[in-house]
Amino acid sequence: MKRIVILISGRGSNMQALLETKLPCEIAAVISNRADAQGLEIAKSHGIATAVVSHKDFADRATFDAALAKAIDGYSADFVVLAGFMRILTDGFVERYRGRLINIHPSLLPAYPGIDTHARALQDGIKIHGCTVHFVTPTLDHGPIIIQAAVPVLRADTAQTLAARVLREEHRIYPQAVRWLCLDQVWLDGNGRVASDRLEQPGTSLISPGLE
């Protein structure tokens, strides 16, 4: 059975979604860079081991990342899952876990990398927004895409209401992506592309505003 380590910085609602899903893997530990992260208590309540590697204890990103990697490797992790981990990782760290490090981002990448995705989407007047699970690469929020979910942008939306609608989809697709990885149904191939042995599933179009 595959082992995963989850990295968080705050409450970790996506972490909680993973903990509450019957995944075909062992969640070996939850690690945070903040000792006051709410998600640590949530993980403990599920019987999951926790650890803190505070970025404030290190002089630079490289030494922090080295300590973080040591903590992760202590749990013999097959995959490292970022769930609201608010630190930019060094290229060396990312390459160390190439093909084993995944993240969820609140936009339909490659649109809106970085922060404030919902406010930026509303400012641009887009009609369809969403979220993306992807492999992490040295280029921020531009790694190969595993799965995406889309939602309509409604006329009365605020950044908060849109974020809530997207978050519901995040809680659906992140467990699915982790399940595929743990079952070896999705992987990063030698060309740096997402490969899968799953059949394409027919779906329906999302059109917003709807057609008359």
| Contact predicate 79/87, CB 8 Å | no
Q: Which of 176, 171, 163, 168 is nearest to 107 (CA)?
A: 163
| Contact predicate 55/89, CB 8 Å | no
**What residues contact 173, with CB distance under 8 A and at least 6 apart?**
104, 131, 133, 147, 148, 149
List of E strands, 136-208: 145-152, 186-188, 194-196
Predicted pLDDT of residue 200: 73
pLDDT in tens, the chain (212 residues): 999 999 999 999 999 999 999 999 999 999 999 999 999 999 999 999 999 999 999 999 999 999 999 999 999 999 999 999 999 999 999 999 999 999 999 999 999 999 999 999 999 999 999 999 999 999 999 999 999 999 999 999 999 999 999 999 999 999 999 999 999 999 999 999 999 987 777 777 888 888 88
- Which domains are delineated in the chain? 1-97 (3.40.50.170), 103-198 (3.40.50.170)
Residue of 105, 129, 134, 171 marked catalytic: 105
**What residues contact 162, with CB distance under 8 A and at least 6 apart?**
118, 121, 122, 129, 151, 153, 154
Q: Which of 84, 66, 67 is nearest to 30 (CA)?
A: 84
| Contact predicate 192/144, CB 8 Å | yes
Catalytic status, residue 134: no
Q: Give how far Cα 76 sits from Cα of 28, 70, 120, Å.
A: 8, 10, 39
Residues 72 and 42: their CA atoms lie apart, in Å, by 19
Structure tokens at 80: 């490292």
DSSP structure class, residue 112 = S
pLDDT digits (tens, 9 = 90+) for 133-166: 999 999 999 999 999 999 999 999 999 999 999 9
Indicate whether this model's pTM tops 0.75: yes
